[in-house]
Structure 1
C-alpha cells in the first residue's frame, strides 16, 4: 500500500512537471518561466557560479556549527534536557528513504537499459550527444547546464509537439533525396572509396575508429530496416487473395 502511494506521488509530480513544460496551463507556466528567466538573467550579470562539493560541505559544516553553538548558548528556562541524547538512524528510516528513492532509481535504470541496449536506431540517436559531451564537456559548467536545461525544457518539447509533423516530413524528404542521389550515382564504388581514403588519411586514429563504428551501426540499421520492410511486404502479399 505504501509503495503504491509513493509511486502515485512520483507520478503526480511528473504529471505536474509535464503540464508546466508543455504549457497546458498558460498562466502557471508563464509565471514559472518568468521567474526562472528573471533569476538566470539577473545572475548572468554577476560572476559565473562555480560549484565545489568540498567547499559546499565545509560551508554547511560551518552553518551547522553556528546553529548548534547558538542553541547551546541560549539559557533554558525549563529543566535541562538529557545531554547524552544522540541521533541515530533506524531500519524504518532507511526503508522509508529506500521506498522514496526506489521508483526514481528503477525509472533511471530502465531508461539506461533502453539507451544502451545496442539497438542501431537508438545508438545513432545517442551517439552524437555522447560524442559532443565527450569533446566539449569540459566547457559545460553547472550554471550553464542549469540555464540550458531550464530554457530548453520550456521551449523544445512544446516546439517539437507543434512542429513534429513538419520535422519528420523534412527529415524524410532529405533522406529520400540523399538515397535517390546515391542510387543515381554511376560510380558509387569510386566515390565511396575516395571518401573513405580521404577520411582515413586526414583524421586521427580516434576519429577513424569512431567513423568505422558509426559506419557499422548505419549498415546494421539499414539491414534491419530493409529486412523489416521486406517482412511487411510479404505479410501484405499473404493477406491479399
Structure 2
C-alpha cells in the first residue's frame, strides 16, 4: 500500500467509525438492535480503489447510481466480498448491464422496468434479482411529478407485479426524503410515512422486509422510523465533485 493509499485508508476508517457510532446511537435511542440496520456505502463518483479500501475496512454493501460508472467499477472489484446495490434512476437501456453486477435494485418505479429487468435476468441466467419499490412521497400531495418513484397509492400494485414476476424478488421499499409537499423538510414524518407503506407491503408479502431510507444527513431519523438499510456516501467518502 502506498503512502497515499494508507492515508486514504485511515481517513475512510475514521469516517466509518463516526458513521458507525451514529448508527449505533440511533439504534439505541430507538430501542433497536444494531444488527437490524445495514450500512450501505454509496460510492458514486469515487474510484474502484476506494471501494477496495472500504472492503478492506469491513464494508460489505456498496451502492452506485449510474451504470456507466458502476459497471467498470464492479468489474474491477469482482473478487471482493461485496453486495452491490443500484440506487439511481434506471433507464431500460441500461438494464442488461445493471443485472450483470447488481444484487439489488432500489429504484423500481414502473411496470415497464419490471418487464425489462425480468427479461435481462432470464437472459443472464442469474439468481433472482432483489427489487425495491421506489416511493415518491411528494406525489401523495400531487407534487414532485418529475421525480422518480411511484405515489404511495401505486405501491401495492407494483409490489404485487414484482412479486409475481419470475426472476425477480420483492425485497421491500425505498425512498428519499421529499423536496416538496407537506413532508418536505421533515424527514422524521417522511420516514414514518414510509414505515406505514412498508408495513402494508409486508402484510401482503412477508419476505419484503427491506426499508431503504436515510442518508448522511438524516440517517438518525430513518433508523428511528424503522429503516433496515441506510445509504451513506458523503459522511464516509467526503464531499463529492460535481458529476460530469
Whether these two folds match at TM > 0.5 is no
Q: TM-score, normalised by structure 2?
A: 0.24
Higher strand share: 2
Work out which structure has the larger RCO, using CA pairs closer than 8 Å and 6 or more positions apart in sequence.
Answer: 1
Q: TM-score, normalised by structure 1?
A: 0.24
Higher helix share: 1
